[in-house]
Structure 1
């Protein structure tokens, strides 16, 4: 998604080129792109110069959008209602804090973070 975000506004990008740039399996990317397309986050373009593009601008797609499509609801831990109320509250607060960060971090932000400062400090694959 970050690769597509970095090329937003350009021609469609083939999964083969994304796979080569990031040393990933093209087959793996095909499995990821299907649910992203179904969720309306990416769109496919057919033809000789086809490929994939973001369906919305990188400023409009959050890390939370992508993670929910690929991983499901954001829950760092599952707990049962009969568990200690204090522990449940702690995990709810942790979940809410994670959700807040993910929902306020866009693909544009992630691309900016990855180009600023120390290149080796973080690696984002979303």
Structure 2
């Protein structure tokens, strides 16, 4: 399942605010951390505010902050609110026997997979993600990249260099990060969002 860009931004912002533990954050601060559009993030944060996840504080030292306990916010709930009941497939049309039966079976399988996916997200809270650390700052996928399939990148194992001093040898290209954490390859929560 691919999330809408607003859901991606919302999840990033919620994790960031949860990590700040009640401190006021500005939209520009969050957008700058993740290198995403502050204008789009502002609209997403207003939507989160309308659903009771975020509180806006006015004034010179104002900003936004998480308005709920991170332990009580699960990802499935946030995704369902922002994705507005997205379904994996549109209903098939046509005469029975002309491929419609196969499409109905496929739809049932994909709905079940979608349900399992959402059930898993319902078990993951913001508090768990924050315990693993803030996600690495990286730009969000641009809409044009979403429609194009990713090109497979060849993995080339590098020969370790022989060092004359007892320095650490570099990791081979494509090796997973040594420090597991939220948003990093090798992490149980890595989803690439």
Give the TM-score normalised by the residue count of structure 1. 0.81
Q: CA deviation at 1:111?
A: 2.7
Within the candidate set 43, 48, 63, 2:60 is matched to: 48
1:92 aligns with 2:111: yes
Alpha-carbon distance in structure 2 between the residues aligned to 1:70 and 1:44: 19
| SS of aligned partner of 1:52 | strand
- Unpaired runs of 5+ in structure 1? none
Give the TM-score normalised by the residue count of structure 2. 0.56
2:159 aligned partner: none
Q: 1:17 to 1:124 in 2, by over 3 A?
A: farther
Larger radius of gyration: 2
1:38 aligned partner: 50
Within the candidate set 10, 18, 27, 2:39 is matched to: 27
Q: CA deviation at 1:69?
A: 2.7
Q: 1:123 to 1:112 in 2, by over 3 A?
A: farther
1:101 aligned partner: 120
Question: What is the total number of aligned residue pairs between the two structures?
Answer: 124
Q: 1:74 to 1:110 in 2, by over 3 A?
A: farther
- Unpaired runs of 5+ in structure 2? 1-13, 135-178
Alpha-carbon distance in structure 2 between the residues aligned to 1:14 and 1:45: 10
Alpha-carbon distance in structure 1 between the residues aligned to 2:126 and 2:110: 26
1:117 aligned partner: 180
**Is the 8 Å Cα contact of residues 89 and 107 (structure 2) preserved in structure 1?**
no
Alpha-carbon distance in structure 2 between the residues aligned to 1:80 and 1:114: 43
**Is the 8 Å Cα contact of residues 19 and 26 (structure 1) preserved in structure 2?**
yes
2:83 aligned partner: 71
